[in-house]
Amino acid sequence: MKPEKILNISVDCVVFGYDTTTKSLNVLMIKRYLKDKQKILVNDYVLTGYHVYTHEKLDDTATRVLKELTGLTDQYKKQFKVFGDPNRLSNEKDLIWIKNEEFNLRTITVAYYFLLKTEDVDLSKNTNDAEWFPVNELPQVGFDHEKIIMEAYDDLKEKCLSEPIIFELLPDKFTINEVQDLYQSILGIEIDNRNFRRKLINKKYIIALDEKQIGVSKKPAQLYMFSKDIYDKVFQKNYLITI
Amino acid sequence: MKPEKILNISVDCVVFGYDTTTKSLNVLMIKRYLKDKQKILVNDYVLTGYHVYTHEKLDDTATRVLKELTGLTDQYKKQFKVFGDPNRLSNEKDLIWIKNEEFNLRTITVAYYFLLKTEDVDLSKNTNDAEWFPVNELPQVGFDHEKIIMEAYDDLKEKCLSEPIIFELLPDKFTINEVQDLYQSILGIEIDNRNFRRKLINKKYIIALDEKQIGVSKKPAQLYMFSKDIYDKVFQKNYLITI
DNA sequence: GCAAAAGTGTTGGATCTACACCCATGT
DNA sequence: ACATGGGTGTAGATCCAACACTTTTGC
């Protein structure tokens, strides 16, 4: 028996994938294409999403959507906002598209973002024409998904400063410069390498491994890992008022 | 013509009101009471909320709910989370209650919180048996509303450190000690008065008025105001990484 | 004059910022 | 040997934390 869809509630997923080698923060999107005789009616990209099932938690919908798209489970996930403007799907192309789908015109969507490594996703098996786009170079985007992506990105920019989520975007073993590059990509700023390095290395939960990079054509860098356990023990909230 | 309700989507509002004189951060709740012959079936408190109308933005639903409850418009408002667990309304009392209401069992609710001053609300005109409760001394709470309140409170605790929302809870003219008391109430911490005072007074957007408290039986304190305009001009984001 | 809360300064430690060169490695 | 990015130290400024007494007012 197939689970029953709730026709006016969906989940949309902004999948952020960081590519350590190109230093690019990417968003995973799927192609939306519709042709009528000669004319291309719709040809753009949207986020991946799906209806919530009647007996399903919202978090589980998001997890299911990610799994279908990437095969991955257990990635960092955050529900960050609901989009429910009555006119959010009223663009011409969106209306054409919705005609072919079992979709209520007044659908509200619960938006999640995921953090993972681009390299962990094998797009070749994907049936949806999924593609990575740098978050700052998005293609033509359908529905209100550009807005959703930008709000997810804003939340990520803010959260990465105060929570250790940066490591969700990096491989288990990373170099200090990789962390710095990632911060710079996300925030669009330059960071002083010496200050950054000192700051990170002094954290107890950033652990130097007995390993260096291999296969690089330059001085191989020291590898580190992040220990969530130590972080949870060591971290203490401060109540610094910074208004 | 009455607007049409969406039966499976609601908005719930956590209305935070600060009482400057008792130094209490309160939540506004309404009584839920149902009697059957001799037996009291339901007798507790819930948040105020309502269905979203078909052609209504979520933000507008929240504003409408607040207005009906308090008469107020233009208060600080934040959509902070969606609650959509399929079993969120499956408690026995909730089921009894829902029987009398036009309610879908699988309703997801978009949760907002509002910030205002307790004194701005006139409860005497209210038809809902609305009452203020200190956020740390809640009564018996129905549905999953205690969870919703606690998550709103967590968000408020975090946000008041980095955004100037504290002033939404205070009268236009306030003393430095009132701000300090409010921070202490919200965060449950003690703050050093000298350090706090220096910090606040040095902000360009905290403006000393040519006025002091009147009608107090002690040394009257200097009054200040907060200028949002100056704040917006002066404030600059820093990218301090504090993981 | 007394009760009650307002208001006031200093010091030591920590943390941030700015800044430029040498080093280790693979090719 | 050279190109590439890895790695390193210091000094000045700013900011935070800790700490206790005097002042002003209404009664």
The single-letter code of the amino acid at A161 is L
Per-residue flag: A55 CB under 7 A of strand C: no
Residue A128 pLDDT: 82
Q: What is the pLDDT of residues B102-137, one digit of tens each?
A: 788 899 999 999 999 999 999 988 888 999 999 999
pLDDT of residue B99: 86
Binary contact (B241, A199; C-beta < 8 A): yes
Query: A180 CA to C15 C1', in Å?
Result: 19
The answer on pLDDT for A64 being more than 80 is: yes
Give B219's pLDDT tier (boundaries 50, 70, 90). very high
pLDDT value at residue B126: 80
Same domain for A85 and A198?
no
Question: Which one of A162, A186, A219 terminates a domain?
Answer: A162
- Do residues A77 and A153 share a domain? yes
Confidence of residue B95 (pLDDT cuts 50, 70, 90): very high
Please indicate, yes or no, if residue B43 is contained in any of the structural domains.
yes
Res A31: pLDDT:
96
pLDDT of residue A80: 98
Cβ contacts of A199 on chain B, cutoff 8 Å: 241
pLDDT tens, position by position, A167-208: 999 999 999 999 999 999 999 999 999 999 999 999 999 999
The answer to whether residue A89 neighbours chain B at the CB level (below 8 Å) is no
For A232, the closest chain B residue by CA position comes to B243
Domain of A191, CATH number, reads 1.10.10.10
Asked if the model's pLDDT at residue A9 lies above 90, the reply is yes
B191 alpha carbon, distance to own chain's centre: 23
- Is A82 in contact with B84 (Cβ distance < 8 A)? no
Residue B189 contacts A, CB cutoff 8 Å: yes
Q: How far apart are CA B162 and CA B134, in angstroms?
A: 23
For tokens 């949806």, name the residue.
A128
CA distance B165 to chain A (A): 9
In this structure, the answer to whether residues B115 and B24 fall within a common structural domain is yes
Assess if residue B239 is contained within a domain. Answer: no
Question: Is residue A241 in some structural domain?
Answer: no
- Per-residue model confidence (pLDDT) at position A167: 98
The answer on A183 and A83 residing in a single domain is no
Is the confidence at residue A219, as pLDDT, over 90?
yes
Q: Which domain holds residue B118?
A: 5-162
Q: Residue range A60-80: average pLDDT?
A: 97
Number of domains in chain B: 2
Asked if B162 reaches chain A (Cβ–Cβ under 8 Å), the answer is: yes
pLDDT in tens, A40-49: 999 999 999 9
Residue B28 pLDDT greater than 90, yes or no: yes
Percentage of chain A with pLDDT > 90? 89
C-alpha B126/C-alpha A179 separation (Å) is 55
pLDDT at residue B143, as a whole number: 96
Over 90: is that where the pLDDT of A100 sits? no
Confidence bin at B196 (pLDDT 50/70/90):
very high
Of B162, B196, B220, which residue sits at a domain end? B162
Q: Give yes or no for residue A2 having a pLDDT over 80.
A: no
**Which residues, 6+ apart, have CB-to-CB distance to B18 below 8 Å?**
B24, B25, B26, B115, B117, B118, B169, B170, B182, B185
B47 Cβ under 8 Å from any chain A Cβ = no
Q: Give per-residue burial for B204-213: e unless 16+ CB within 10 Å, then b.
A: ebbeeeeeee
Task: Calculate what percentage of chain B has a pLDDT beyond 70.
Answer: 100
In a domain, A83, yes or no: yes
Neighbouring-strand partners of residue A28 = A15, A132
- Closest residue (CA) to C1' of nucleotide D25 is B219
B195 touches strand C (CB under 7 A): yes
**Closest CB from A54, A166, A199 relative to B106:** A54
CB A97 within 8 A of CB B97: no
Paired strand residues for A117: A18
Residues 6+ away with beta carbon under 8 Å from B182 = B18, B20, B23, B25, B166, B169, B170
* Residue of A15 and B125 predicted with greater confidence: A15
Residues by Cβ under 7 A, strand D: A 175-177, 193-195, 197-198, 212, 218-222, 238, 240, 242; B 192-195, 199, 216-220
Residues with Cβ within 8 Å of B142's Cβ and at least 6 positions away in sequence, in order, are B32, B42, B44, B45, B46, B91, B93, B94, B97
In a domain, A242, yes or no: no
Q: How far, in Å, is the CA of B198 from the C1' of nucleotide C7?
A: 11
pTM of the predicted structure, to 2 decimals:
0.96
Asked if pLDDT for residue B2 goes beyond 80, the answer is no
pLDDT in tens, B153-191: 999 999 999 999 999 999 999 999 999 999 999 999 999
* One-letter identity of residue A121: V
CA dihedral B37, B42, B46, B49 (to 10 degrees): -60
Q: Check whether B1 has a pLDDT greater than 80.
A: no
Distance CA B220, CA B241 (A): 41
Residue B167 lies in a domain: no
Report yes or no on A16 lying in a domain. yes
What average pLDDT is seen over chain A? Answer: 95
What is the predicted pLDDT for the residue at B217?
86
Interface touch A161/B54, C-beta < 8 Å: no
pLDDT tens digits, B73-93: 999 999 999 999 999 998 999
Question: How far is residue A33's CA from residue A40's CA, in Å, rounded to a whole number?
Answer: 8
> For residue A238, which residues of chain B lie inside 8 Å, CB to CB?
242
Q: Which chain B residues contact residue A108 at CB under 8 A?
A: 9, 52, 58, 110
- C-alpha closest to that of A121 among A215, A187, A27, A227: A27
Neighbouring C-beta atoms of residue B216, cutoff 10 Å? 10
Q: Are A133 and A17 within one domain?
A: yes
- Considering only the beta carbons, identify the residue of B8, B52, B161 that sits closest to A240: B161
Contact B112, B13 (CB under 8 A): yes
Q: Is residue A205 part of a domain?
A: yes
B240 has a pLDDT exceeding 80:
yes
Question: Residue B110: which of A82, A162, A240 has the nearest Cβ?
Answer: A82
Query: pLDDT tens digits, residue range B43-76?
Result: 999 999 999 999 999 999 999 999 999 999 999 9
pLDDT for residue A126? 80
- Report percent pLDDT > 70 for chain A: 100
